[in-house]
Amino acid sequence: MFGWKKAGYSTAAAAVTPREEGGRREDGAALNVVKRLSRSISTVGKDAAEVRGALEDTQRVVQAQSQAMQALARQLSQIGEAQRSIATATAQSAAAVQRARGALGVVGGEVVGMSATLAQVSDAAAEITKISLQTRLVAFNAAVEAKHAGDAGRGFAVVAEAVKALAGQVESSSKAIVTAIATLQDRIDRFSTELTENAAKPSQIHAAFSEVEQDVQRISASAADSGQQMSLLNERAHELEREVSEATHGLKVAFDGSDRFLRMSEELIEQIAESGVEVDDMPFIRTAQSAAAEIGALLEDALRNGQISEADLFDEQYRPIDGTNPQQHTTRFCALGDKLFPAVQEKALGFSDKIVFCIAADRNGYIATHNRKYCQPQRPGDTVWNTANSRYRRIFNDRTGLASARNTRPFLLQTYRRDMGGGRFVVLKEATAPIVVNGRHWGGLRLAFNF
């Protein structure tokens, strides 16, 4: 049955014992399990990236709400100050009305006193009129008697006539005084009536004062009610601010947890790949490593040929380009990047239709030259279009961008949501390999691909 052993076969197949065959089957099964596990972990990583992105969106909304609540609290505080100012002004107005009423009462008293004085003057003038009338009668009688006396009474008659004339003038003046005082008295009486407060039939001036007082009271009551409402609103605003703060803290905890979970899934995939198992991501990892080596070699040649100095190649002075949104920058190695990078980057795109982009980033996440389809000139005022189509000359220093740019291990795998502009996102995987120039870390080759 086992004659092949005696025949001395030396091939591997002939040397395999049944136990070894079973072991190989077990190893193959284990590899299949590891590959399936890798795919499952990759799916979990995708879900974790989507959760992380959703948390980021929620964080932005909560932060906007927090800022809005803070602005509302400031506005409520300003309104409260205005309400307190209104309350103070109405109290001052009410006090001023009371003082005016008091002053009006004083004036009324003075008018009453003036009216009494005028009455006395009028009485005196009437008395003068009586006296002047009597004087005229006496003078008339004296003149008659003087005529009877003849020549002896002629001088006395002249005096009597003079006294009579003077008494007539006094009578006329006193009557004029009485008439003027009567007119003035009538005016003063009407004025006194206006100044005198009468609840049954208020005068125009007192009715006006009453209206002013009522208006001031209504304003004061409205200000007090508004102040109470503002106080309640302010308390509620502070409560909402605290709730938003608590929600922000809770989101941060959840965000940190999803971040750790995502990184753990990435590290598991990396460890499986490093073990030598041919996982689904390995072709993309090798493509990224190959492209990184090519770009590193091209940059070393450029240094040797004097196309660029080392200082310019490692330039970190990012100069903003005016009028760009999102903001673009230039560096001293942009021209060299435009010349050397496209050949490597565009070639990598052809490796698989799953590849979304292949770019070289410096240590700070700066992309001098993107793939051609993402190197469209910006459209002024069209930020959404620019975000999706003008991705060159930009700094991507987010979590993924910096991790890829500063990675110095043989490779790095990441899963993340990519912002395509206009609220549109796609979940990608990214394989990164370091770009090294003459032993110095220049940046990273980022190869992003779909699941």
- Nearest residue to 288 via CA among 393, 442, 396, 413: 413
Residue 25 has which token pair?
A: 């089957």
90 located within any domain: no
Residue 345 belongs to a domain:
yes
Q: Does 432 map to a domain? A: yes
Asked whether residue 339 is assigned to any structural domain, the reply reads yes
**Count of structural domains within the chain:** 1
pLDDT-wise least confident of 16-25, 235-244, 325-334, 402-411: 16-25
Residue 381 dihedral angles phi and psi, to the nearest 5°: 80, -5
**CB-based contacts of 131: which residues, under 8 Å, 6+ apart?**
170
Tell me the average pLDDT across 50-62.
64
Query: Which range among 300-309, 384-393, 414-423, 437-446 shows the weakest confidence by mean pLDDT?
Result: 414-423
pTM: 0.54
pLDDT in tens, 227-251: 677 677 777 777 777 777 776 776 6
Whether residue 303 is predicted with pLDDT greater than 70 in this model: the reply is: yes
| Higher local confidence (pLDDT), 413 or 218 | 413
Q: Confirm whether 393 is domain-assigned.
A: yes
Burial annotation 295-327 (CB, 10 A radius, 16+ → b, else e)? bbebbbebbeeebbeeeebbbeebeeeeebeee
Q: Is residue 250 part of a domain?
A: no
> What does the CA dihedral 122, 123, 129, 131 come to, rounded to 10 degrees?
-150
Q: Is residue 290 part of a domain?
A: yes
Q: Mean pLDDT, to the nearest integer, of 73-77?
A: 68
CATH number at residue 444: 3.30.450.20
pLDDT over 80 at 179, yes or no: yes
Per DSSP, what are the bridge partners of residue 429? 415, 449
DSSP-derived secondary structure letter, 369: S
**What's the helix, strand, coil split of the chain in %, to 5?**
70, 10, 20
Angstrom distance (rounded) from CA 216 to CA 422: 55
What residues have CB less than 8 Å from 76, skipping those under 6 apart? 230, 233, 234, 237
Measured between alpha carbons, how far is 16 from 11 in angstroms, rounded to an integer?
9
Of the pLDDT bands very low, low, confident and very high (cuts 50, 70, 90), residue 55 is low
Q: Domain limits at 327? A: 281-449
Res. 3 pLDDT band, cuts 50 70 90? very low
Stretch (H or E) spanning 370: none
What is the rounded average pLDDT of the residues 279-291? 92
In percent, the amount of the chain with pLDDT more than 90 equals 33
pLDDT (tens digit, 9 = 90+) per residue, 210-232? 777 777 777 777 767 776 776 77
